[in-house]
Amino acid sequence: MYFKSDTFLPGNGLSFSYQIANCSRLYEQEYGYLRSPGWPDIYPHNMDCIMVLKAPQNSSISFFFNNFDVESHSNCGFDYVEIRNGSTADSQLIGRFCGQALPSPIFPHFNQLYLRFKSDFSAARDGFDATWTSSPHGCGGILYGDHGSFSSPEYPGSYPNNTHCEWSIKAPRGRVVTITFAQISIDDPGDCQNNFLKLYDGPDTSSPPVGPYCGVGLEDSRSIAYSK
Ligand SMILES: [Ca+2]
């Protein structure tokens, strides 16, 4: 804050108070990212943060952890991330997570998600970094930020029949996006006409396509040079 006055016209000045913000947040938005307090440094002790995501009505959230490292304990009794299908502490429990294993993507089939991040008085780790989006189709949506991860619905389980997902990746202006596939497993008779993944190098499906891809593959990397 910077306060300055010239030599004329004095006023009553200003008065304010301040306090540190707590870590609880309500995100009423279609997409975003979520990081533990202090990320990428270790999280503070004795935190208890409630984060509620509210996407537009009649849409479904998809939630993906990009990095995860929370003090390990057999029942996640020390530090944990608790996720519920709804917006309150008594909504249906999806899972309580701790340790270093990356939790599977979360598809609550609902437009609200409740997260509680709790740490105890000792042994902090790096915490977590997650991306979320939403779409009326139950999968797809805008992925925003300088990095992130995503997957098809119910991954690592099988996707349902008649799946139609469109993701749009928005990166900072002027930057090239690289997409790395950890796994592709799309069953198709062979010509990639009915079951496929296609990338478009631009803002929509009128942009130059890359692909289609189908079949089984691992660890492939594509650079998308689109940068507007
Ligand atoms: Ca701890």
Residue 200 lies in a domain: no
Tally of structural domains, the chain: 1
Q: Output b/e per residue, 166-187; b: 16+ Cβ within 10 A.
A: ebeeebeeeeebeeeeeeeebe
Minimum mean pLDDT range among 37-46, 105-114, 204-213? 204-213
Q: How far is the CA of 94 from the centre of ligand 1 (A)?
A: 22
Coil, strand or helix: which one is 20?
coil
The pLDDT of residue 228 is 42
**CATH code of 34's domain:** 2.60.120.290
The pLDDT of residue 226 is 47
Answer whether residue 222 shows pLDDT above 80: no
Q: State the chain's mean pLDDT as an integer.
A: 90
Q: How far is the CA of 78 from the centre of ligand 1 (A)?
A: 5
At 121, the pLDDT band (50, 70, 90 cuts) reads very high
Answer whether residue 43 shows pLDDT above 90: yes
Residue 86 lies in a domain: yes
Residue 227 lies in a domain: no
Under 8 Å CB-to-CB from 205, ≥6 apart: which residues?
none
Residue 60 lies in a domain: yes
Q: How far is the CA of 62 from the centre of ligand 1 (A)?
A: 28
Residue 195 lies in a domain: no
Per the listing, tokens 């970094």 go with 129
What is the span of the domain harbouring residue 110?
25-137
Residue 143 lies in a domain: no
Each residue's pLDDT tens digit, 131-177: 999 999 888 999 988 888 899 988 889 988 888 999 999 888 888 88
Answer whether residue 202 shows pLDDT above 90: no
